[in-house]
Structure 1
Amino acid sequence: MTSASASTPSPVQLPGTDCLIRPQVSLAEFTSYRVGGMAQWYTAPRNWDELQATFEWFSSQDLPLTLLGAGSNLLVSDRGIPGLVVGTRYLRRTHFDPETARITASAGEPIARIAWQAAKRGWRGLEWAVGIPGMVGGAVVMNAGAHNRCVAEYLVSAIVLSPDGTLETLTAQDLNYSYRTSNLQGDKRLVVEATFQLQPGFSRGEVMETTTRNLNQRKSSQPYDRPSCGSVFRNPKPQAAGWLIEQLGLKGYRIGNAEVSMRHANFILNCGNAKADDIFRLIRHVQEKVEDRWAVLLEPEVKMLGEFLA
């Protein structure tokens, strides 16, 4: 009989660092949905040296690569993810340049924190980002936005790391931004850091007031009491996804422990020990009902990783 320890690979210590690449790590704790299976391999570098060492190890392996930020716009399969999952949550460093009003932030820095820090300086531009739960890296990749504003309007450049270890500086134009997407979506390049251009010289109180109002508006209209991924679907035109879903009476509809939010119909909640498959099936059910009634196929904003049961 084979023991569990014999069948599970040992962690890999990356040379010259304190970084471990660990086998069979649950991803549920790293996603806002609190669901998902195991990563075949997982690591979360804490600095540039560890990040480089991680990519050097990866380049010597025949494995798929998945990049994981805050996990706030993500649905991970109950069956897990093969290959290496690299978490960026510990890559945190921010520089505010008072002469240019530019902010340079590492991939793991929460975008909401940067928005607050900018507001306290009287810099306009990121007031809309205060309620966004993601990190800088993911925000750049998906062109995160709210209140009719988005990353593409303020991004100066992003430094990305390729799996082969090469660095490249890309402008907003290079990223070919459109609604909630860029050409980094589905790409294996990692956003290392990004620089944003803001507008200085405004009253600190004014900017703080706008920022606080935006946050309160999100809190009053969106559910924060249960795990979710934020908005599940991209908004089609001319009607918002939430409006289409609400008109069908789907608020409160459940599959397993996944439920369409009563507060905002474009949110699907984990109401307690939901499975990723519950959420996935509910997403598909909503899509089918909306398409049958409105002839509109709702496109998921949430990114799905792994295999799901229909």
Structure 2
Amino acid sequence: MELVQELINLKVGRVIPNVSLKEYTTYRIGGTARVLVFIDSIDSLKKLLQFLRKNQIKHKILGNGSNLIFKDGLYNGVLIRLTDLNHMEIRGTEIEVEAGYSLQKLALKAAKASLTGLEFAAGIPGTVGGAIFMNAGAYKSDMGYIVRCVTMLDENLEVKTITNKECNFHYRTSYFKEHPNCVCLSAILTLNKGMSQAILAVMEDRKTRRVLSQPLEYPSAGSVFRNPEGDYAGRLIESLGYKGKLFGGAMVSEKHANFIINKENAKASDVITLIYDIQKNVKKTYGIDLKLEQEIVE
């Protein structure tokens, strides 16, 4: 408990020891984290990261846990949650928003303010920071289309603002994925004026389509694999007969083959076993290396 007390003494936010990762990931799987810290300010984040780096303590930034697979057992480090960094302000056609703000909530706020451009985000369960990190997207749009600039902590823990171009957005990746020691703090998004009712109607239509095509009734972390160029991961997986395949408590969705669901008290190892089996057989059959859209955390 010495580390816990040291973190409490730093006064950087709420400190919770021995946290079940099932409560903080959308898969509802994983073991226990040694410590979870809810950061209360950017200064607190800098202070905490300085302490962790100085003492060589393993750590990871955690948003909504909507794209992560924590292994079973102990995560022997500190998880840092940014969900208390959640200020948002709409100014004309621009939105300034902190990294911990809910992406789904932001899409709804934008729609009600008659701003179009965020409709794709209505069904993405992560935070703004997580969405920028992986350049989240759907319906042929993504964060790269709407981010004007991002304020971050760089590798030296200095606050710095970078442009859209410097964010290096590409399909499901960004500057932040390439530089994991940098932390997204906030962003300015540029949207366009639209008709609120029309925008909300588009979002409702897409919600209906998601309910029909995705296993939203079970815990998951969305799409497991990135689509390979010129094809769809779901099509490849389905062609090999994986729909409905069970391993332990995890199952390849019968609705969409690129989703693995927590069918019944799954372990992280169940999900990971299915992932590796799919990758192996897609490679063997098609010569294609399926790349994870999700992240397995050691």
TM-score (structure 1 length as normaliser)? 0.90
Structure 2 residue 101 is the aligned partner of structure 1 residue 74 = no
Task: Write the letter of the residue equivalent to 1:197.
Answer: T
Deviations, residues 134-167 of structure 1 (Å, cap 9, x unaligned): 1000000100000000100110111111464311
Structure 2 residue 77 is the aligned partner of structure 1 residue 83 = yes
Question: Is contact 2:12-2:48 (8 Å) kept?
Answer: no
Paired residue for 1:178? 170
- Which residue among 248, 257, 263 is the counterpart of 2:240? 248
Distance 2:4 2:85 in 1: 25
Q: 1 or 2, which has the higher helix percentage?
A: 2
Deviates more, 1:10-19 or 1:63-72: 10-19
Instruction: Output aligned runs, 1:9-28, within 5 Å.
Output: 9-15=3-9, 17=11, 19-28=13-22
Distance 1:227 1:48 in 2: 31
Structure 2 residue 53 is the aligned partner of structure 1 residue 53 = no
Q: CA deviation at 1:59?
A: 3.9
- Give structure 1 stretches of 5+ with no counterpart: none
Paired residue for 1:166? 158
Deviates more, 1:107-116 or 1:10-19: 10-19
Q: CA deviation at 1:185?
A: 1.0
Q: CA deviation at 1:15?
A: 4.9
Paired residue for 1:195? 188
Q: CA deviation at 1:49?
A: 4.2
Q: CA deviation at 1:38?
A: 2.2
Distance 1:108 1:286 in 2: 33
Distance 1:163 1:27 in 2: 27
Paired residue for 2:143? 151
Aligned length: 297
Distance 2:191 2:135 in 1: 16
Indicate the SS of the match to 2:165: coil
Question: Is contact 2:249-2:266 (8 Å) kept?
Answer: yes
Indicate the SS of the match to 2:227: coil
Instruction: Give me the CA root mean square deviation.
Output: 1.8
Q: CA deviation at 1:53?
A: 3.4
Q: CA deviation at 1:10?
A: 4.2
- Give structure 2 stretches of 5+ with no counterpart: none
TM-score (structure 2 length as normaliser)? 0.93
Structure 2 residue 41 is the aligned partner of structure 1 residue 30 = no
